[in-house]
Amino acid sequence: MNILTLNHVHKSFARTEGEDVTQALSDITFTVKDGEFLSIVGPSGCGKSTIMRLIAGLIFPTAGTITLNGEIIKGTDTERGMVFQKPTLFPWLTVKQNLDFTAKMKGYTHKADYESESERLLELAGLEEFRNDFPHQLSGGMAQRLALIRTMINKPRVFLLDEPLGALDAFTRMNMQDEILKLWQRSNHIVLMVTHDIDEALYLGTRIIVMAPRPGRIREDMKNEMPYPRVRTSDEFLQMRKRVLEMLNFGQILN
């Protein structure tokens, strides 16, 4: 059982020459376990990406601790796979090479160990025909799909998704949502996903964290017990949606 814990996490960023600081996060505490899918929503600048980068081990808390299975996160590791808001691909490698390179970083040394999964994911993302293209030849949505499957191939214990579907058209987006869901249900690992799309948060998450800005705080940490597959037009869904929307508006009036 994997357990990820953020315990009274604060994060400030120095601005000009240490004069002023931006307090990005204040007192963030939550625990996520295997089998949980945590959706994080909140206004722009409330610290959502900062939370993801902290868990990825790219930056460190100003105060408080972050642990995975009791161990403090000291840096990046393939056990915590992140998909960034802006796709980060290796520009000098083709689509297929981007995918295979990540599998090799995880330690797969034989092609046979990752080849079938790599092929399956290329097909899933609709990128088979573009396998020999380079990232600059892809559309924004294609690049984002590649970034997503590249992280999927390593089956991380903690899957960190920072608005991974923002650049996609509605149809591809819904397909990818189902794929993320399948991946999570199969692995039963921890997923944290930041999104601006409340429907997406509700369609996927077993739990939804609603944040308030400046400094970023948790306004509400609510369970979403609707059974899967969820129906976006069901009464239950629409009621939950209303609740989250009200919470977000409430936040804007207060701040």
- Residues engaged in binding ligand ATP (CB under 6 A): 13, 22, 24, 44-50, 85
Q: Is 102 in the site for Mg ion (CB under 5 A)?
A: no
CA–CA separation, 31 and 9 (whole Å) = 12
**C-beta of 8 vs 120, nearer to ligand ATP:** 8
Partner touching 44 among Mg ion, ligand ATP, none, CB below 5 to 8 Å by kind:
ligand ATP
- Contact present, 208 and 194 (Cβ < 8 Å): no
First CA to last CA distance, the chain = 39
Spell out the alpha helix ranges (H) of 73-211. Answer: 95-106, 111-124, 140-152, 170-187, 198-204
Please report the DSSP string for 50-95 in residue order.
Answer: HHHHHHHTSS--SEEEEEETTEEP-S--TTEEEE-SS----TTS-H
Which two structure tokens, joined as six digits, stand for 190? 């921890």
Smallest gap, in angstroms, from Cβ of residue 48 to Mg ion? 5
**C-beta of 44 vs 109, nearer to ligand ATP:** 44
**C-beta of 49 vs 144, nearer to Mg ion:** 49
Which of 58, 82, 74 has its CA nearest to residue 150? 82
Partner touching 97 among Mg ion, ligand ATP, none, CB below 5 to 8 Å by kind:
none
**C-beta of 26 vs 49, nearer to Mg ion:** 49
- Contact present, 9 and 63 (Cβ < 8 Å): yes
Please report the DSSP string for 200-224 in residue order.
Answer: HHHHH-SEEEEEETTTBEEEEEEE-
Smallest gap, in angstroms, from Cβ of residue 162 to ligand ATP? 7
Site for Mg ion in 49-68 (CB under 5 A): 49
Partner touching 13 among Mg ion, ligand ATP, none, CB below 5 to 8 Å by kind:
ligand ATP
Count residues binding Mg ion (CB under 5 A).
2
Q: Which residue has the tokens 């399948």?
A: 182
**C-beta of 80 vs 96, nearer to Mg ion:** 80
Partner touching 46 among Mg ion, ligand ATP, none, CB below 5 to 8 Å by kind:
ligand ATP
**C-beta of 42 vs 135, nearer to ligand ATP:** 42
Half-sphere exposure of 208 (CA within 13 A, CB side): 24
Q: Segment contacting Mg ion (CB under 5 A): 16-24, 42-50, 68-76, 234-242? A: 42-50
Residues forming the site for Mg ion (CB under 5 A): 48-49
